Structure 1
Amino acid sequence: MKTLLKILGVIILLVVVYAVIAMLAFSKNYHFEKSVVINAPTEKVWQHLGSLKEYNVWDPFSKADKDIVITYSGTGDKVGDSYHWKGNDKVGEGEQSITEIVPNDKLVTQLHFIKPFEGNAVAKFVLTPEGNGTKVTWSIDNELNTVMKIMKPMMDMNMKTMFDQGLGDLKKISEK
């Protein structure tokens, strides 16, 4: 019994030490990005990326809840156009609006998360011709509060999974 308590005590101590180090060492500025080369011209890739409505066809976050409710404001392809989503606990609730759009080149959006956690982020898609294809770089930037700093490694794993899935789905539909 003493051995079990010692092991439990060491685990708790390690968790507390990690939490303190994470709060002090991790930057409050969070950036994550992934890229993929799609074997299609930039114009074809843009057809699936340059509109919020088309974006939601391959976006993995939207697919995480088959009953998600998405309400669009505008046509989805101009600065100021947006959509509101409301889904299960995995998807939560929030809004995404276009803040910058350069056809066949770049789409920048502002994300406002309402549930389960309040927060804001900036998502960016940059398209770059690469050989006969198009390199798509997807990034997200936001500010982490103290609790989120502790969760950063888990956030990185989750973002990698979601970005890989989304870019993979974008690649599939763009290469058809």
Structure 2
Amino acid sequence: MKTLLKILGVIILLAVVYAVIAMLVFSKNYHFEKSVVINAPKEKVWQHVGSLKEYNVWDPFSKADKDIVITYSGAGDKVGDSYHWKGNDKVGEGEQSITESVPNDKLVTKLHFIKPFESDAKASFVLAPEGNGTKVTWSIDYELTAIMKIMKPMMDMNMKKVFDQGLGDLKKLCEK
């Protein structure tokens, strides 16, 4: 029994040490990005990236709730256009609005998360020629709280999974 308590004590101590180190070492500025090369011209890829309505066709976050409610403001492809979503616990509630758009090159949006926690982020899509195709780089930037710093490795794994899924779906859609 003493051995079990010692092992449990060591595990708890290691968890506390990791949490303290993570809060002190990890930057509060979080950046994650993934890229994919799509065998299609920039103009075709832009049709699916440059519009919030088209984005929600392949966006893995929206697909996480089949009953998600999305309300658009504007056509979805100009600076100032936005949408509001409300879904289950997986997708929460929030808003996304276009802050910068350079047709066939770049789309930047502001994300305002309402639930499960309030925060803001910036997402962007950058398109660049790559051989006979188009390289799409999807990134997200936001500020981490102390608790989120502790969860950063798990966040990176989750973001990789979600971005891989989304970019994979975008690639399939554009290469049809």
TM-score normalized by structure 1?
0.99
1: CA distance, partners of 2:132 / 2:55? 23
Q: Does 1:123 align with 2:123?
A: yes
Q: What secondary structure is seen at the aligned counterpart in 2 of 1:15? A: helix
Q: Does 1:146 align with 2:146?
A: yes
Amino acid at match of 1:126: V
Q: How does 1:12-23 map to 2 (within 5 A)?
A: 12-23=12-23
Q: CA deviation at 1:86?
A: 0.5
Q: Tell me the equivalent position of 1:56.
A: 56
2: CA distance, partners of 1:4 / 1:116? 37
Q: Tell me the equivalent position of 1:87.
A: 87
Amino acid at match of 2:170: L
Q: CA deviation at 1:131?
A: 1.1
2: CA distance, partners of 1:6 / 1:149? 28
Q: Tell me the equivalent position of 1:7.
A: 7
2: CA distance, partners of 1:151 / 1:164? 20
1: CA distance, partners of 2:115 / 2:12? 30
Q: Tell me the equivalent position of 1:103.
A: 103
2: CA distance, partners of 1:166 / 1:71? 21
Q: How does 1:16-31 map to 2 (within 5 A)?
A: 16-31=16-31
Q: CA deviation at 1:29?
A: 0.3
Q: What secondary structure is seen at the aligned counterpart in 2 of 1:80? A: coil
Deviations 1:26-79 (A, max 9, x none): 000000000000000000101111100000000000000111100000000000
2: CA distance, partners of 1:55 / 1:83? 11
Deviations 1:106-125 (A, max 9, x none): 00000000000110000000
Q: What secondary structure is seen at the aligned counterpart in 1 of 2:27? A: coil
Q: What secondary structure is seen at the aligned counterpart in 1 of 2:90? A: coil
Q: What secondary structure is seen at the aligned counterpart in 1 of 2:98? A: strand
2: CA distance, partners of 1:2 / 1:16? 21
Indicate the percent of aligned positions where both proteins have the same amino acid. Answer: 89
Q: What secondary structure is seen at the aligned counterpart in 2 of 1:158? A: helix
Structure 1 gap ranges (5+):
none
Q: Tell me the equivalent position of 1:171.
A: 171
- Residue correspondences, number: 176
Amino acid at match of 1:61: F
